[in-house]
Structure 1
Amino acid sequence: MMANNKKNQSNNTILVIHSLISGAVAGALAKSTIAPLDRTKINFQISNAPYSAKAAFKFLSDTYTNNGFFSLWRGNTATMTRIIPYAAIQFTAFEQWRKVLQVDSLTTKNNGSRKFFSGSLAGVTSQTLTYPLDLARARMAVTTKNEYKSLGDVFKKTYHEEGLKGFYRGYVPTILGIIPYAGTSFFTYGTLKSFVKDKHGYENTFVNLASGAVAGMAGQSSSYPLDIIRRKMQTSIITGNYYINLRKTIWIIYKSEGIIQGFFKGLSMNWIKGPIATGISFATYDFVSNTLKSV
């Protein structure tokens, strides 16, 4: 009995290590790929300027012309500092929450809600532990080096100007958004992958990419207004707007920009970058994880 317990603990430790490594690689690759699009989206989310594909292209073009090619990846160091632990924790937490909720002990027809909650809880876990890094990334994405020279400078000025609570500005809408986003993403990805495997008897990187892309679009669409709200709250000290709490922020956005322009600005950009990032993330995670298991 003790031998079996030790073996199970050892197997779980190996699973955790594999998940941490696979998640870190998946997150880093996915976010680096879409970093310029992410920076563009955040810029429009926090401003009152109307979004269009032409305006987005102009922002990218002007950024490149005025600040050089690598300025398109400004804030990506902060993104990597956050996304590597975030993705590592999220995928690992998902595997562990699946065990806690006994997802695999149920039939496919009966485990849908538990899959969703496993993904939601994984998202909440990882987001809570890495939130200050997300805030720093957002602030670097919408500023120049004159305002924040480095990631360390963001933390220093945030603490000096806002105190410790400044690092969690926008946390509530973030958590409210991550519940449907992560839950929907993990549920959709797992369901589509299982469907293809059961129906056609195979699984490969292309299937995982396609399943991840659909999962990304579904997840982004389910939580996008809350993403707008959190970005405005995170960067309020930069824009000078009075976004002090969730209710106040929602009211200001509605009054100044309306429902569609205010809460869904840049969603079409997310329908491009979201599926790309999520598809790469899930496919990379499975690829690296399977590779590590075979070593």
Structure 2
Amino acid sequence: MSAKSGERLKDEGTQLQVTAAGATAGVISRFVIAPLDVVKIRLQLQTHSLSDPLSVRPLPPNSPIYKGTFPTLLSIFRSEGLTGLWKGNLPAELLYLCYFAIQFTTYRQTTLLLHSTLGESTLPPSLESFISGAVAGATGTTATYPLDLLRTRFAAQGNDRVYSGFLPAIRQIYHQESYKGFFRGLAPALGQIIPFMGTFFTVYETLRPNLSKLELPYSSGGALAGTIASVTAKTGTFPLDLVRKRIQVQGPTRKRYVHKNIPEYTHGTFGTMKEIVKREGVRGLYRGLTVSLVKAAPASAVTIWTYERTLKFYAGLGDRGVKGI
């Protein structure tokens, strides 16, 4: 693949258009996959399972046992109503709005910086995409991490409401845990997002030129490339995502979430991974992987599909605006 063939995502449109298109894609994608995201978080935080002998032990009262994606969806709906499937949607929408805008903008700017400092054809396209994707993912994750933590905590609470609302949650976390409470789990988040985004954009930019030529009935080639890229990257980095979720719900409210027996983890990212393996076996690091992969397909497809068309729309508005002057 030539350097020119991989530049459309990064260089098409102005910076404002790229930012607006990325933000729009993030918001729409988040709303569509919100119920699956809640299911994933509930499964990731579950340390017990009827099918796992290591986890069979007396459970605290009212601790649910989730088994599978659709049974978990049904269980949440029955016990918490339809709104239970969209718990944490406000911080999540803000997260996706800000994250995708920052991600796409940083990806574009990092690539342009590489071109200006090293030259357009100096780096192999796959390496260029990996570097730009990793920088974009790390920047977006760090800037929006408090929203990610809030999303997880809201999704983790059952009928016993730990936080009464978005702003009260911010005040309560700051009062009880100081500003550091908003960044619990940032280390595994960065450890996951750098290889995830690097792999995602590398696979995406590699597949997109050929897949874009395909005429698909319900999807674009770009959306298909995005789906394959997301599934590939997510599978490889999933244990770090699970560790991040477990650390995010640490603190004074740890025993008040829907799972009452979340262990206390005090030994950092790798210490937490070791403890999970010791308590739950290796399979404990992959709780929620199935729904995560199920979620990855529509999320990536909607994100890339919306991004490409929104960017064209904004670019069209800009062209008409220029012509009208």
Tell me which interval the TM-score lies in, with the shorter structure as reference length: 0.7 to 0.9
Alpha-carbon distance change, 222 to 149 in structure 1, aligned in 2, over 3 angstroms: same
Q: Return structure 1 stretches of 4+ with deviation > 6 angstroms.
A: 201-204
Q: How does 1:1-295 map to 2 (within 5 A)?
A: 15-50=14-49, 54-102=67-115, 105-106=120-121, 110-144=124-158, 146-197=161-212, 200=213, 206-237=220-251, 238-239=254-255, 241-244=263-266, 245-259=268-282, 261-295=283-317
Cα distance in 2 between the residues matched to 1:191 and 1:51: 42
SS across alignment from 1:43: helix
Q: Residue 192 of structure 1: CA displacement?
A: 0.9
Letter in 1 for 2:142: T
Alpha-carbon distance change, 90 to 203 in structure 1, aligned in 2, over 3 angstroms: farther
Does the CA contact (< 8 Å) of 1:186 and 1:215 recur in 2? yes
Q: Residue 179 of structure 1: CA displacement?
A: 0.6
Letter in 2 for 1:29: I
Deviations 1:249-271 (A, max 9, x none): 11211111111x21111211111
Q: Residue 134 of structure 1: CA displacement?
A: 0.3
Deviations 1:259-294 (A, max 9, x none): 1x2111121111111121012111211111122112
Deviations 1:41-60 (A, max 9, x none): 11111121239995433322
Cα distance in 1 between the residues matched to 2:49 and 2:299: 24
SS across alignment from 1:92: helix
Cα distance in 2 between the residues matched to 1:114 and 1:213: 20
Alpha-carbon distance change, 28 to 104 in structure 1, aligned in 2, over 3 angstroms: farther
Alpha-carbon distance change, 293 to 121 in structure 1, aligned in 2, over 3 angstroms: same
Cα distance in 2 between the residues matched to 1:184 and 1:283: 19
Does the CA contact (< 8 Å) of 1:44 and 1:51 recur in 2? no
Alpha-carbon distance change, 104 to 192 in structure 1, aligned in 2, over 3 angstroms: farther
Does the CA contact (< 8 Å) of 1:212 and 1:279 recur in 2? yes
- Alignment coverage as a number of residue pairs: 279
Q: CA RMSD in A?
A: 2.4
Does the CA contact (< 8 Å) of 2:211 and 2:225 recur in 1? no
Letter in 1 for 2:300: T
Matching residue of 2:320:
none
Normalised by the length of structure 2, the TM-score is 0.80
Does the CA contact (< 8 Å) of 1:189 and 1:211 recur in 2? yes
Whichever structure has more helix as a proportion of its residues is: 1
Alpha-carbon distance change, 153 to 98 in structure 1, aligned in 2, over 3 angstroms: same
Could you tell me which runs of 5 or more consecutive residues in structure 2 were left unpaired when the two chains were aligned: 1-10, 52-65, 256-261, 318-325
Between stretches 33-42 and 98-107, larger displacement belongs to 98-107
Between stretches 200-209 and 57-66, larger displacement belongs to 200-209
Alpha-carbon distance change, 111 to 202 in structure 1, aligned in 2, over 3 angstroms: farther
Does the CA contact (< 8 Å) of 1:91 and 1:122 recur in 2? yes
Deviations 1:198-223 (A, max 9, x none): xx498995111211110110121121
Deviations 1:68-100 (A, max 9, x none): 212211111110011101111111111111111
Cα distance in 1 between the residues matched to 2:46 and 2:216: 43
SS across alignment from 2:263: coil
